[in-house]
């Protein structure tokens, strides 16, 4: 089938590459010529494991094309995926300007029946707005009501995890399709069924529903996952107060099949492009419909406060004034296996350390380039602070002479470091661990003063102190 993907961000690029991988003819459009230049020169503008290999393979086979030609993109695809950004407005609502502009272009250049798929995460009612925009453009061309230029707007939300997006796309646990129950909708249903047929060979993964329910499903899913994270973070803060171990609690409640283990890890809060934006948008949708979403308001508030939890632990240990101290920071991206710095907890942590007079040496296996760009913007108005932030090329480089190590992102390479070497190069053997990578007992045995999230601190014995 001939498919057009509008937007080459995480969702659009991964979706387009995976559809090309299973044999479809995919045209990827982006209005940013820099992105298209990168893609046409053999690179990818984002870090996502496995993505470059698929794009290289499908480009060589002639099944994927990258272009800025809007008219050609509309002419190409019988199915038009809208996968552009929906950034939050100042009031937290999703900004639909890019979605509606994509719809406008489809109506402006449509040359036949089109299935228009909202792949971007959009509020309930967006499909109706997209339909109205396309219809207005067809009317302006004198084609309103034309049988040849009929269209159907479908909601097909994505459920991709950054860092595992290719795997999620190639082996989906469900495919949600919201579709109208009219003649055009039935034609669209047959095309979508054919499109996703390769993913349903072992068993049927597609869930058909009305359009508004499909739009709502995406927001509800992300809101539930964000709620689990904030719940465990709030429990971890209480565990700190009462002397419980949140890891033991996690195992205890996760073993209940009604709860399960996923998204129950305590840490320094969620970030990225999805959870913060989608929770805010859903709260805003509730307000617009006179329905206050109190649980989600609390989820957002807890997450905001949790991003300061490591700073609180640091200042309660070393004092509010950190002038002259140096901190090694491991992990900058909001999660492993991505270079995404959007809403990353590291940004707030580092800004707080710098504001208190500290110097920071930071390392991330993938996100250094993006981190340099982001912090240049974040600290633009405080050049004196920016001068005290240094990025290193290895995790070991961050440690030499630092007063403490702070772990923000749980990259695999951080899970089994050489602790003896770490102790020999740190000024003092202190770790503030925002991801609970190590066992407090083991750290105390090694003579490392270890502060985790919701886990009791184990006092160093006299023997351990002597070794430290």
Any known ligand binding at 251? no
Tell me the angle at which helices 126-140 and 211-242 cross, rounded to the nearest 10 degrees. 140
Q: In what order do the strands lie in the sheet with 206-209?
A: 64-67, 25-29, 2-6, 79-82, 114-118, 151-155, 175-178, 206-209
Residue 315: phi and psi, rounded to 5, are: -70, -30
- Nearest-angstrom CA–CA distance, 25 and 2: 5
Q: For residue 267, say whether it is annotated as part of any ligand binding site.
A: yes
Q: Is 86 annotated as a binding residue?
A: yes
Q: How far apart are CA 236 and CA 82, in angstroms?
A: 40
Active site residue 28: no
Do 80 and 117 contact (CB within 8 A), yes or no?
yes
A 10 A CB-CB count for 15 gives 25
Write the DSSP assignment of 19-67 as a string of letters.
HHHTT-EEEEE-S-HHHHHHHHTT--SS--TTHHHHHHHHHHTT-EEEE
* Annotated binding residue 342: yes
Q: What is the DSSP letter of 365?
A: S
Catalytic one among 18, 28, 169, 274? 274
CA nearest 440: which of 259, 243, 292, 307?
Answer: 243
In terms of C-beta density within 10 A (0-12 exposed, 13-18 middle, 19 or more buried), how is residue 70 classed? middle
Residue 415 marked as a ligand binder? no
Is 113 marked within a binding site?
Answer: no
Distance CA 195, CA 22 (A): 10
Nearest Cα to Cα of residue 346 among 338, 356, 335, 355? 335
Structure tokens at 349: 């942590």
Q: Establish whether 271 is an annotated binding residue.
A: yes
Would you say 35 is a known binding-site residue? yes
Q: What burial class does residue 241 get, using C-beta atoms within 10 Å of its C-beta: 0-12 exposed, 13-18 middle, 19+ buried? A: exposed
- Is 135 labelled a binding residue? no
Confirm whether residue 208 is marked as ligand binding: no
Cβ atoms of 267 and 233 within 8 Å: the answer is: yes
66 is in an annotated binding site: no
Q: Is 159 annotated as a binding residue?
A: yes
3-state DSSP call for residue 217?
helix
- Between helix 211-242 and helix 294-306 the angle, nearest 10°, is 50
Determine the Cα–Cα distance for residues 108 and 216; give it in Å rounded to an integer: 28
Q: Residues 151, 184: contact at Cβ < 8 Å?
A: yes
CA angle 156, 370, 330 (to 5 degrees): 105
> Any known ligand binding at 160?
yes
Ligand-binding annotation for 277, yes or no, is: yes
CA distance 289 to 396: 52
Binding residues for substrate: 159-162, 218, 263-267, 271, 335
The residues annotated as belonging to the active site are 274
Binding residues for NAD(+): 30, 35, 86, 121, 162, 277, 342
Binding residues: 30, 35, 86, 121, 159-162, 218, 263-267, 271, 277, 335, 342
């Amino acid at each position: 089938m001939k498919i057009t993907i509008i937007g080459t961000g995480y969702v659009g690029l991964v979706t387009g590459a995976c559809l090309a991988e299973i044999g479809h003819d995919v045209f990827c459009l982006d209005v940013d010529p820099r992105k298209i230049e990168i893609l046409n020169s053999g690179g990818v503008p984002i870090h996502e494991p496995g993505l470059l290999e698929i794009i290289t393979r499908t480009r060589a086979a002639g099944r994927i094309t990258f272009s800025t030609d809007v008219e050609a993109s509309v002419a190409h695809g019988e199915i038009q995926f809208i996968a552009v950004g929906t950034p939050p407005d100042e009031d937290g609502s999703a900004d639909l300007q890019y979605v509606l502009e994509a719809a406008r272009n489809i109506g402006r250049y449509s040359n036949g029946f089109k299935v228009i798929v909202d792949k971007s995460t959009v509020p309930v009612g967006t499909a109706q707005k997209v339909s109205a925009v396309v219809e207005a453009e067809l009317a302006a061309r004198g084609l309103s009501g034309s049988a040849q230029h009929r269209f159907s707007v479908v909601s097909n939300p994505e459920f991709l995890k950054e860092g595992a997006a290719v795997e999620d796309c190639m082996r989906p646990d469900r495919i949600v399709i919201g579709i109208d129950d009219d003649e055009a909708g039935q034609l669209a249903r047959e095309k979508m069924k054919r499109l996703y047929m390769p993913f349903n060979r072992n068993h049927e993964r597609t869930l058909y529903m009305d359009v508004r329910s499909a739009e709502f499903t995406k927001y509800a899913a992300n809101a539930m996952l964000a709620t689990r994270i904030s719940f465990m973070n709030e429990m971890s803060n209480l565990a700190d107060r009462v002397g419980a171990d949140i890891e033991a609690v996690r195992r205890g409640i996760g073993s209940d099949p009604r709860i399960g283990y996923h998204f129950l890890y305590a840490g320094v809060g969620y970030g990225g492009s999805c959870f913060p934006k989608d929770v805010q948008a859903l709260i805003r949708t509730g307000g617009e419909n006179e329905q206050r979403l109190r649980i989600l308001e609390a989820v957002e508030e807890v997450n905001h406060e949790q991003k300061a939890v490591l700073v609180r632990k640091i200042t309660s240990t070393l004092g509010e004034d950190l002038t002259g101290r140096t901190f090694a920071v491991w992990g900058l991206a909001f999660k492993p296996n991505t270079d995404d710095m959007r809403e990353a907890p590291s940004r707030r942590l580092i800004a707080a350390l710098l504001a208190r007079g500290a110097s920071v040496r930071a390392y991330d296996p993938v996100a250094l380039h993006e981190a340099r760009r982001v912090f240049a913007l974040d600290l633009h108005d405080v050049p004196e602070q920016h001068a005290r932030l240094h990025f290193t090329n290895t995790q070991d480089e961050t440690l030499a002479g630092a007063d403490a190590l702070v772990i923000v992102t749980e990259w695999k390479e951080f899970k089994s470091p050489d602790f003896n070497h770490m102790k020999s190069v740190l000024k003092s053997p202190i770790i503030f661990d925002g991801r609970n990578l190590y066992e407090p007992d083991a750290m105390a045995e090694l003579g490392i003063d270890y502060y985790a999230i919701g886990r009791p601190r184990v006092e160093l014995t006299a023997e351990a102190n002597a070794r430290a």
